[in-house]
Amino acid sequence: MIRLGRHGVALAGVLVIVGSAVLAALAPALAPADPIRNDLLSRLTPPMWMDGGSGRHPLGTDTLGRDVVSRLLYGARVSLLVGFAAVLVAGAVGVALGLVAGYYGGRLDDLLMRVGDVQLAFPVLVLAIAVLSVLGASLGNVIVVLGVTGWVTYARIARAETLSLRQRDFVEGARALGARDGAILWRHILPNVLPPITVVATFSVARTIIAEASLSFLGLGIPPPAPSWGAMLDEGRNYLTTGWWLALFPGLAILLLVLGINLVGDWLRDALDPRVERGM
């Protein structure tokens, strides 16, 4: 029963992720209004089921009269794009460095691991803010910064797996048959490194989405007026008494998406990593 339940929960997670992606992709068709068009006459309209609400703005409008649903739909694009792109950058860089470090060992390995120690000494947001305050806030910069700061975990896992794999019979066999290092790493080691990496990557997509929301909340993410869930929360936090929906709905959107990703991550961990106790 528990196994069935776990599959069901993971399926719900997949549905949330796919659903968000579809909604984000179809945002132009689905959004009831232009997400960045001001309409000061209908500013702070409450959600449609409340007094003063209107069917034209199902979840109300913000302080500039912009439609909340539309901004949420377009905001999903930012969250998903940053979340997946940054993790892709971090994963690619980290796995490549980890494979090389683990396979060749020696000075290069020492150097990379020490650089990793330095990287880990920076709290992620602290480093991201420092770098973004120099480079300026933009979609590309946010992806690069969150991507580059995330490489260490992947490098460490890839290195550890490679270390244990490089002496194994199938690798020795490939080497004996004259395979070159690049081919061994690519064809024999990488496929075995990927399962644990996938688990970690899934959880980091969730964390990166929260990090992007935090940066946007602090005004260092995607520049306004482009809709991002974190920026919407920043705009809403000064109107908690008069427009509570501005602070509620973008947060719920983040919670739902991140929860969905974490559920899939839990399931992947159980499925791909047999060492982890089931039911944790």
Partner 1 sequence: MARFLARRLIHAVFVVWGVVTVVFFILRLTGDPAAFLVDQTATREEIAHARHLLGLDRPLYAQYLDFITSVPRGDFGLSIQQRRPALPIVLEHLWPATAELALAAIVLATVLAIPLGVVAATHRNGALDHLSRLGSLFLQSMPSFWLGLMLILVFAVALGGLLPAFGSGSLRHLILPALTLAAAPLAQNVRLIRSGLLEVLQQDYVRTARAKGLAERGVVYRHALRNAAGPFLTVTGLSLGFMLSGTLVIETVFSWPGLGRLMVQAVPGRDFPVIQAAVVVFAVLFVAVNLIVDVVHGLVDPRARVA
Task: Provide the binding-site residues for partner 1, judged by CB under 8 A.
Answer: 2, 114-115, 117-118, 120-127, 129-135, 206, 210, 213-214, 217-220, 230, 233, 236-237, 240-241, 244, 247-248, 250-251, 254-255, 258-259, 262-263, 266, 277, 279-280
**Measured from the CB atom, is 54 or 133 closer to partner 1?**
133
**Measured from the CB atom, is 31 or 246 closer to partner 1?**
246
**Measured from the CB atom, is 167 or 241 closer to partner 1?**
241
**Measured from the CB atom, is 143 or 190 closer to partner 1?**
143
**Measured from the CB atom, is 171 or 228 closer to partner 1?**
228
CB 254, min distance to partner 1, A: 6
CB 205, min distance to partner 1, A: 12
CB 173, min distance to partner 1, A: 33
DSSP per residue over the chain, as a string? -HHHHHHHHHHHHHHHHHHHHHHHHTHHHH-SS-TT---GGGTTPPPTTSTT-BTTBTT-B-TT--BHHHHHHHHHHHHHHHHHHHHHHHHHHHHHHHHHHHHH-HHHHHHHHHHHHHHHHS-HHHHHHHHHHHH---HHHHHHHHHHTTHHHHHHHHHHHHHHHTTSHHHHHHHHTT--HHHIIIIIIHHHHHHHHHHHHHHHHHHHHHHHHHHHHTT-SSPTTS--HHHHHHHHGGGTTT-HHHHHHHHHHHHHHHHHHHHHHHHHHHHH-TTSPTT-
CB 164, min distance to partner 1, A: 17
**Measured from the CB atom, is 32 or 251 closer to partner 1?**
251
CB 87, min distance to partner 1, A: 16
CA distance 222 to 36: 14
